Structure 1
Amino acid sequence: MIYPQNFEQKIGFDSIRHLLKDKCLSTLGQERVDGMNFSESFKDINEWLEQVMEFIRIIQEEDSFPDQYFFDVRPSLKRIRVEGMYLDEQELFDLCRSLETIRDIIRFLTPTPDDEEQEEGNSPYPALRRLAGDIIVFPQLITRINNILDKFGKIKDNASSELLRIRRELASTAGSISRSLSTILRSAQAEGYIDKDVTPTMRDGRLVIPVAPGLKRKIKGIIHDESSTGKTVFIEPAEVVEANNRIRELEGEERREIIRILTDFSAVIRPQVPAILQSYEFLAEIDFIRAKAHFSIQTNAIKPSLEDKQILDWTMAIHPLLQLSLAKHNKKVVPLDIELNLNQRILIISGPNAGGKSVCLKTVGLLQYMLQCGMPVPMHERSHAGLFGSIFIDIGDEQSIEDDLSTYSSHLTNMKTMMKSCNERSLILIDEFGGGTEPQIGGAIAEAVLKRFNEKGTFGVITTHYQNLKHFAEDHEGVVNGAMLYDRHLMQALFQLQIGNPGSSFAVEIARKIGLPEEVIADASEIVGSEYINADKYLQDIVRDKRYWETKRQNIRKREKQMEETIAKYEEEIQELEKSRKEILRKAKEDAEKLLQESNARIENTIRIIKEAQADKERTRLARQELADFKNEVEDIEKKSQEDKIARKMEKLREKQERKKDKKEKAKTDSPQSATPKIQPVTVGAPVKIKGQSSVGEVLEINGKNAVVMFGMIKTNVKLDRLERCTPTQASPKAMTKSTFVSSDTQDRVYEKKLNFKQDIDVRGMRGNEAIQAVTYFIDDAILLGIDRVRILHGTGTGILRTLIRSYLGSVPGVEHYQDEHVQFGGAGITVVDLK
């Protein structure tokens, strides 16, 4: 059931019909568009949608689909049911071409005789194949029509022996007339009666000669006509009058023979008319499906996951008419995400005027109606759609002078019909629920009606500004609030639906934007009271905060995706590294095998020399033993050499991998290092540098395992095992000056940073990634300033933050040890970190 009668006009489906008609190839498909109706049969709707989706594939993937000739000759076929009636040449020609199209479509959709064993399930277009399954084609009829019509649709000369005789006589008589006229014309031109460029012409089906009025007496014959200017008369010479009369007779005979042929052929067709009309129903259906497919391509429509129950779970749904309208101005529609299910059957949408509430309502109504008419709908493919037994809509102003109905009365009439007819399989769509009368009683009646809808288990989408309906949705199961979002800072609607919270009307903000005097706004605020204004403000804040956190959540998802991609990239690089390692090992084994083979050859050669020298057995044994020792020694050397080679290559690959991962690492000094010097102990006054760094300093004093080193103007404590003795070149005054120069500004900043540095950091309440980032900066600063011990306050909680931080600390080279703080000072809630 669809209510009211102008339902299609209210949701814009009449425009959809008009667009579909424009895409049809003939009146066959247009009639199908007019007959398209709402259905609640899951089987039928699913089949219709499958047919359209298959035809979309045909349009996008096939080039040979036969859609050239879609002619509607049904009126002509129905006419010849009467005895004695016949199809004329054009009608017969259209019948032939359209029957050929039906035959070719059936061939396209149905396997050839060679593929008869192919099952329907293997067909690329199973739904369309089922549609074409019982359709009859008429190959013999097509052949017979082609035997009597030429390629231009005219009756052939050999359609009958009598027609052939008539046309031959016509040609002969016309030839004799032409020759006679040519003779008369040449004679008249020679005598100057007619100009040289004049040729015979046709008047009333008779060949005549154009002559000037003053010379018409010069040529004997019948005057048939004169030009509009009166400067030319057309004379039929007496010599050809009889021949022209004979042509007229033959033309009459030709027409009668053609009619006889067409009448006889129509008599042959007459018994087959019902079957032919059935085939044209198939052609009409194909034209209709084709139009829906082209419209679906134009609007990017798809078949959602269809379920035989009441559900509405749409993602990125788009109003197709709005989409086409905005596309003309290079604009895009804001897609709609909406969900109705057994737990939230009725959605109460609130929000500012011109915020998109009515568009949302119409989008739901139009797309659901399109779907149940067998049309794909523009939404994301992960959407789920159900079926409803009836759809009711109340939108717009329905006041009627004739029926003595006001706007509110018409709304109440609609409410009465809906309450009487709706059930758990109904979908109701109501715009501005309760509007049109005094707000308090209007809101109360609307709430009472909404209560009845909810009790009946009805599904629906309702827009309103009434606070009591928003409260009803919060307090009753099955009803849920939704808000059309509004940017309070830019003062513009976002046209986005957000389910879960009611929306604000932003009445005060919109009034202020329009320019209403501030004192008027203040008076209005005072009239409704601060409680109402604050409640509306709190509602706006809730919506704003939810939008903020939703954006945060989306950003987190985006970063997680980026992180997953990065991990996948590194895993791929590790696999490549492992592959390279295996390749190096394989090459090393090959080289070792080659060396062993050469060694064996050397051994055999030595033995041969010994034998040739005819040495005694003891000497031979000693020689073999020496060679065996040589072989083992070579194997050991080669093995060590290959392992060193592999280690060097692996080290190079690891270094390359580390350079890719660590973007902060800077290029090292490019001066080539000489041979590794002998390691010398660190003593007072010796030039040293920290391992892995280039800055050269001087040891001032050594205290146990620590040393005091002066790097330029900075004095710092460093562990002895972190220092290495410099070569004479590195320790030159020039090198020391260059590598340890620090500006006075830098010294001041470092000194100030050390004075202000706090050895405790509190990360309680932070998210994991935020806490790790804060701890990273904190540890870096502590190492830079030479701090020995710091404390990290992370709390106990679930222990996740503590685990993350300690996992990070275990990967920092500058961290020597970390442990829980003493129980008296915080225990497991604080991690104490000792730095190198």
Structure 2
Amino acid sequence: MESAADRLRPNGALPIDQDTRSLLEWDRLAADLAAHGSTAAGRALCMALPLAPTLVQSQARLAETTELIGLDGLLEGGLSFQGVADLSATLRHCQKGGVAGGEALLAVATTLAAARRLRRQIDDPELRPHTSALVAELRTLPELEQRLHFCLEEGGRVADRASPVLAELRRQLLAARGERRERLQDLLRRYTPLLQDTVIAERNGRPVLAVKAGAASQVSGLVHDSSASGSTVFIEPQAVIALGNRLRELEGREREAEREVLAALSALVAAEAGSLEGLQVVLVALDFALARARYALALGAVRPELSGDPLAPFVLENLRHPLLRPTPQRPEVVPVTVKVGAELRVVAITGPNTGGKTVTLKSLGLAALMARAGLFVPCAGSPQLPWCAQVLADIGDEQSLQQNLSTFSGHVRRIARILEALPEHPAAAAGASLVLLDEVGAGTDPTEGSALAIALLQHLADRARLTVATTHFGELKALKYGDPRFENASVAFDEQTLSPTYHLQWGIPGRSNALAIASRLGLDPSVLERARALLAPRGEGELNQVIQGLEAQRRRQQEAAEDAAALLATTELLHEELLERWEQQKEQSADLQEQRRRRLESSIREGQQEVRRIIRRLRQGQADGETTRRAGERLKRLEEDHRPVPERREHRGWSPAVGERIRVLSLGKAAEVLEIGAAGRELTVRCGLMRLSLPLEGVESLSGQKPAPPEPPVPKVQVRVRAGLGTGPSVRTERNTVDVRGLRVHEAEAAVEEQLRIANGPVWVIHGIGTGRLKRGLREWLAGVAYVERVADAEKGDGGAGCSVVWVK
């Protein structure tokens, strides 16, 4: 029964989906793809370029393409299909009981060898899961390959070793041919005077002598031919006729023996026909995938991400038409960017003729079909689009004199077929549907055509996932403002050069440039003024002014975006330079601090040694008042020379101050600093009506800066002159107590020694318990000091084991 689609289709017309592929020049793209095929069967599949019937199969093809791009680049010379032949005709012949020729059977062997090599190169389930799964069940039949190579030689000739009977026949043939050759040479020497030529010729597969016509009766034999002039007769001598007959018999038997071998080999091939057909399918699929990979590299294409959601967005950045090539007139192909959100259903593209509207339609349609076929898409970034089960288009002129169709009638008939093909309920469709309409509503009265175009696009907004239509009707530009499913786009036009720029602008409808072009071409100004006056009542003049303002605003925004991008790039470079310099400065600062620390320790040791020498002289010698005075001045100079100079410390980070506003991390609210603890690690803050005590790590500045930890106190080493010697009180006081906790052993030694020089009684040294290293170090040092009488732990009330009492002599 005839369907509605069949009734709408003109006689001999293709189904609408095939018609769309023809309009998009899908066959030209397939031919470009086939140029990258390696085998005849692979190229034939590329020329057919089938579309994957499901999303899963499209994704599998894309994965195969990805894997073979990587593998083909790793192998030297790329993945090779050398030796692979089309076995379909041979297999059909053998399955019907026929005998295949030697060359065809040898092609089976070379194909098996090539398949085994390809499986070895591809098989890696971790790196190439899809192509490895494709070759996993591949049977390369090594026994059949060995048998074929054993029985057949180069060129498909049956080898002597294939059959003992064949080998014996060929030995007899060789001997018979040698005997006949010797007899002919003897006859040449005997009949030389009677011959026109001393070369043994051949007629009807038999050797003959070129005998002069007048001497033909003197040579007995069989006449096979004569020359055109009649002066030469070609005679097979009677002496070799029997040998010739023998050779003919042996050759016939040889052909029979060869046929028996080929028949046996053909039977072996027929027995494995199923495996060989499966192998052929896998090899063709691999060749198809490799052609897609090499085509993607040639186009500079990238892998698209296909979504099973029909409402997924279209994101195609810098999309190029795969069939457009640079020419001297147009050295650069201008790409277009297509970004259609899930909420959009119709995009109306306006602008001047030859501005690139139709190319945009074709590029988008081809991109959707290429992704479905497993091909990479020629664009930048990471293209995303839904899996399109239908791509339907009305592009070009459908005028037909044979079918009595005008341009308008042709468009209407094709659009009717598109509507018939669309599903009634898009949500239940297997995939998205993409509709491409070129010059919708054209070819008839502008008023009626515009009304028809608006109604059609509103209908398609309910039926198709996305409809992209080009038009010159100004009424279609206003649909966006009444329906959020509609969007405007336009191709830019340069009024200075009166030529399109081919750039696609989103959100701005194209305006009419007819008057601008006419003005530039010198049309009478009065005519132009009258035309503008006629446009004014219809509002088109104001609309063009609005569009012109939008275009100017877009240009300013584009320039501002470019300036911002350049500023951002400069800022990033400066940031990297500052980071690098900061790292260098930090390394230099660390080295400088280490050098200062070493110099300070060296100065302390030198000062201690000098102090010990002075005290030793004062204790051992009979020093008078003047000597004592000079020693005191010397000690004061040492104190000044070895006093550590406070380092200028760089600001290591943000530090809160009283009265400053900060952010409390636990509350995420601002607060005011009321008080800072003595050690700088605790803060008292007021947050609203609350008064809180927080650790320094629990706050940050309002700009997000983290607080720097307070710097540890720098130990001070002082050298004092001993005021006098003698016996003092044995009760612990502040004057006879020295606290060396936190100091190193040599620093503690210097501090204790200063206290001992001015002490007139026992000295209490508070060193703490800790690990005991400081206490042991001090005890060992005090044991070697000559003027120390004894050392003992303090009473429990004075510190116990954490404090030592030192008595001087």
TM-score (norm 1): 0.67
Contact 1:503–1:543 (Cα < 8 Å) also in 2: no
Distance 1:199 1:582, change over 3 A: farther
Matched, 1:355 2:344: no
Equivalent pairs counted in the alignment come to 622
Distance 1:457 1:206, change over 3 A: closer
Matched, 1:512 2:519: yes
Aligned to 2:170: 167
Instruction: For residue 387 of structure 1, report the CA deviation from its aligned partner.
Output: 1.5
Find 1:428's aligned residue among 405, 430, 435. 435
Contact 1:480–1:500 (Cα < 8 Å) also in 2: yes
Distance 1:473 1:239, change over 3 A: same
**Partners of 1:554 and 1:498 in 2: how far apart?**
16
Distance 1:585 1:175, change over 3 A: farther
SS at match of 2:435: strand
Instruction: For residue 617 of structure 1, report the CA deviation from its aligned partner.
Output: 8.5
Question: 1:670-728 deviations in whole A, cap 9, x for unaligned?
Answer: xxxxxxxxxxxxxxxxxxxxxxxxxxxxxxxxxxxxxxxxxxxxxxxxxxxxxxxxxxx
Matched, 1:552 2:554: no
Aligned to 1:392: 392
Distance 1:82 1:137, change over 3 A: same
For residue 129 of structure 2, what is the amino acid of its counterpart?
P
Aligned to 1:713: none
Matched, 1:44 2:57: yes
For residue 537 of structure 1, what is the amino acid of its counterpart?
Q
Matched, 1:270 2:270: yes
**Partners of 1:329 and 1:175 in 2: how far apart?**
72
Distance 1:80 1:456, change over 3 A: closer
**Partners of 2:132 and 2:420 in 1: how far apart?**
43
Contact 1:443–1:468 (Cα < 8 Å) also in 2: yes
SS at match of 2:503: strand
For residue 393 of structure 1, what is the amino acid of its counterpart?
A
SS at match of 2:448: helix
Find 1:578's aligned residue among 575, 581, 586. 586
Q: Which is further off, 381-390 or 232-241?
A: 232-241
Aligned to 2:576: 568
Instruction: For residue 221 of structure 1, report the CA deviation from its aligned partner.
Output: 4.2
Contact 2:369–2:388 (Cα < 8 Å) also in 1: no
**Partners of 2:240 and 2:512 in 1: how far apart?**
94
Question: 1:492-533 deviations in whole A, cap 9, x for unaligned?
Answer: 211111111211121112233445444433332232237422
Aligned to 1:538: 546
Distance 1:221 1:434, change over 3 A: same
Instruction: For residue 457 of structure 1, report the CA deviation from its aligned partner.
Output: 5.9
Find 1:56's aligned residue among 45, 50, 69. 69
For residue 544 of structure 2, what is the amino acid of its counterpart?
D
**Partners of 1:3 and 1:511 in 2: how far apart?**
40
Over aligned residue pairs, what C-alpha RMSD do you find?
A: 3.9
Distance 1:155 1:110, change over 3 A: same
Contact 1:304–1:380 (Cα < 8 Å) also in 2: no
Instruction: For residue 561 of structure 1, report the CA deviation from its aligned partner.
Output: 1.5
Aligned to 2:478: 471
Instruction: For residue 390 of structure 1, report the CA deviation from its aligned partner.
Output: 2.0
Question: 1:314-372 deviations in whole A, cap 9, x for unaligned?
Answer: 101110001xx326878221111012222222111111111111111111111111211
For residue 50 of structure 1, what is the amino acid of its counterpart?
A
Find 1:155's aligned residue among 144, 155, 158. 158
Aligned to 1:503: 510
Aligned to 1:73: 87
SS at match of 1:344: coil
Instruction: For residue 408 of structure 1, report the CA deviation from its aligned partner.
Output: 1.6
Higher helix share: 1
Distance 1:134 1:256, change over 3 A: same
Q: Which is further off, 21-30 or 266-275?
A: 21-30
SS at match of 1:399: coil
Aligned to 1:523: 530
Distance 1:594 1:101, change over 3 A: farther
Q: Which is further off, 154-163 or 325-334?
A: 325-334
Contact 1:24–1:287 (Cα < 8 Å) also in 2: yes
**Partners of 1:307 and 1:635 in 2: how far apart?**
80
For residue 483 of structure 2, what is the amino acid of its counterpart?
H
**Partners of 2:383 and 2:128 in 1: how far apart?**
23
**Partners of 1:80 and 1:619 in 2: how far apart?**
127
**Partners of 1:181 and 1:620 in 2: how far apart?**
147
**Partners of 1:436 and 1:464 in 2: how far apart?**
12
Aligned to 1:316: 318
Matched, 1:106 2:109: no
Aligned to 1:135: 138
**Partners of 1:211 and 1:619 in 2: how far apart?**
152
For residue 163 of structure 1, what is the amino acid of its counterpart?
L
**Partners of 2:561 and 2:447 in 1: how far apart?**
40
**Partners of 2:420 and 2:265 in 1: how far apart?**
60
Q: Percent identity among equivalent residues?
A: 24
**Partners of 2:500 and 2:404 in 1: how far apart?**
37
SS at match of 1:501: coil
Question: 1:732-789 deviations in whole A, cap 9, x for unaligned?
Answer: xxxxxxxxxxxxxxxxxxxxxxxxxxxxxxxxxxxxxxxxxxxxxxxxxxxxxxxxxx
Q: Which structure has the greater CA radius of gyration?
A: 2
**Partners of 2:353 and 2:563 in 1: how far apart?**
30
Contact 2:139–2:275 (Cα < 8 Å) also in 1: yes
**Partners of 2:596 and 2:184 in 1: how far apart?**
107
Q: Which is further off, 267-276 or 57-66?
A: 57-66
Aligned to 1:24: 37
SS at match of 2:380: coil
Aligned to 1:701: none
**Partners of 1:268 and 1:94 in 2: how far apart?**
14
Aligned ranges for residues 611-630 of structure 1 at < 5 Å? Answer: 618=620
**Partners of 1:383 and 1:601 in 2: how far apart?**
77
TM-score (norm 2): 0.69
Aligned to 1:449: 456
SS at match of 2:95: coil
For residue 332 of structure 2, what is the amino acid of its counterpart?
K
Distance 1:227 1:524, change over 3 A: farther
**Partners of 1:330 and 1:414 in 2: how far apart?**
33
For residue 565 of structure 1, what is the amino acid of its counterpart?
L
Contact 1:485–1:503 (Cα < 8 Å) also in 2: yes
Distance 1:137 1:511, change over 3 A: same
Contact 1:350–1:505 (Cα < 8 Å) also in 2: no
**Partners of 1:570 and 1:237 in 2: how far apart?**
106
For residue 88 of structure 2, what is the amino acid of its counterpart?
R
Contact 2:434–2:464 (Cα < 8 Å) also in 1: no
Distance 1:215 1:55, change over 3 A: farther
SS at match of 1:65: coil
